[in-house]
Amino acid sequence: MENNLNLSIIKCTKCPRLVKFRKKISTEKRKQYINETYWGKPITGFGDLKGKILFVGLAPAAHGGTRTGRVFTGDKSSDFLYKCLYKAKISNQPTSKHLNDGLRLSKAYITTALKCVPPGDKPLKNELDNCFNFFNKEIDNLKNLKAVIALGKIAFDACVYYYKSNYAFHEKIKFGHGKIFKVPDNVLLIGCYHPSPRNVNTGRINEKKMTNLFLKVLKLV
């Protein structure tokens, strides 16, 4: 099931604007990666399917996941995220550089609400809608799920949409860093600032703040 789902994700061409953009990124490349072959396709989730915690980002980064072929791999956001995941003992190493770097997650899975990189990190509503089926199935596959940590507001809203679409869940809940909500199936939904360079450089998030939130969630599950 998991492999079939991932194969369907990788082959998907449903959003013309995003198919065009991921091709453009992968052909033009960033100067420092000019000799690399970019992955250039949609990105699947990664980690422990038996995990209790799901981390959700918005979409693969242009020169991160879209280049390397793995979610949160090979860019500044992943550098920051994995320092925190390692400190919380969720990952076996503090870096996520490329597909064969030996990275493993313990008790956790990571994915994105949208599987293709959108221009300006701003997806259109119909693109999120198109991709929701994949996101929905990925969550359904996590049978031991106890907590969902949404990295940023759009990811948080996609998670809320998942619960509203699949359960009689009508509460109005709003993203906030460290805010914890109980959603159906006794799952906790947690808001967390995205580990983007912008959030890190402005001091909105730092390693201690993010690691402490992960440690708190680990205790709750």
Residues that bind ligand SF4 (CB under 6 A): 9, 12-15, 18-19, 42, 114-116, 127, 130-131, 134
The CA distance from 135 to 13, in Å, is 16
Helix then strand then coil, in percent of the chain rounded to 5, is 45, 15, 45
Residue 42 or 57 with smaller CB distance to ligand SF4: 42
- Minimum CB separation of residue 178 from ligand SF4 in Å reads 29
- Minimum CB separation of residue 130 from ligand SF4 in Å reads 4
Take residue 45 and report the two structure tokens written for it.
């989730």
Helices (H), the chain: 2-11, 16-28, 65-68, 76-87, 125-140, 153-166, 197-201, 207-220
- Minimum CB separation of residue 116 from ligand SF4 in Å reads 3
Residues forming a β-bridge with 183: 187
Q: What are phi and psi of 30, to 5 degrees?
A: -90, 145
Residue 106 or 133 with smaller CB distance to ligand SF4: 133
Residue 52 or 115 with smaller CB distance to ligand SF4: 115
- Minimum CB separation of residue 124 from ligand SF4 in Å reads 10
Residue 128 or 190 with smaller CB distance to ligand SF4: 128
